[in-house]
Amino acid sequence: MTHIALHFLVPAIISGLFFRKQWLAAYLTMMATMLVDIDHLLANPIYDPNRCSIGFHPLHRAGFIALYFALCWLPKCRWLGLGLVVHMALDSVDCKLTNGIWIS
């Protein structure tokens, strides 16, 4: 439950601290990046509390994560990239806390 809460809280903090004038647009854009978890529907079973999503699910692999970092450098895609990077970082921390590994 803490993991899910952090997916809402961390983008809110980032939006409030770094994008104060446009915090709502930044926050909603970062929240939209939760849709990256659509790739969980390809797994069998769809949900496994002991599975590390980093490196397992297609949109949670290194090539895509590199793309997410690159999006942070494009002004029009910055919030999107930042939301995706934060999402992957939180998933990676969850892997470490749950399974003792950073990626699968």
Q: Report yes or no on 66 lying in a domain.
A: yes
Q: Report yes or no on 81 lying in a domain.
A: yes
Q: How many domains does the chain have?
A: 1
Q: Report yes or no on 30 lying in a domain.
A: yes
**Which pLDDT score is estimated for 7?**
95
**Which pLDDT score is estimated for 104?**
64
Separation CA 26–CA 12 (nearest Å): 9
Give the type of residue at 45. P
Long-range contacts of 8-11 (CB under 8 A, 24+ apart): 10/86, 10/90, 11/83, 11/86
Q: Report yes or no on 92 lying in a domain.
A: yes
**Which pLDDT score is estimated for 48?**
86
Q: Report yes or no on 104 lying in a domain.
A: no
The whole domain housing 13 covers 2-99
**Which pLDDT score is estimated for 64?**
98
**Which pLDDT score is estimated for 50?**
85
Mean pLDDT, 10 residues at a time, the chain of 104 residues: 91 97 98 96 89 93 97 97 97 89 70
The pTM for the full model equals 0.92
Q: Report yes or no on 71 lying in a domain.
A: yes
Q: Report yes or no on 65 lying in a domain.
A: yes
**Which pLDDT score is estimated for 49?**
82
Q: Report yes or no on 60 lying in a domain.
A: yes
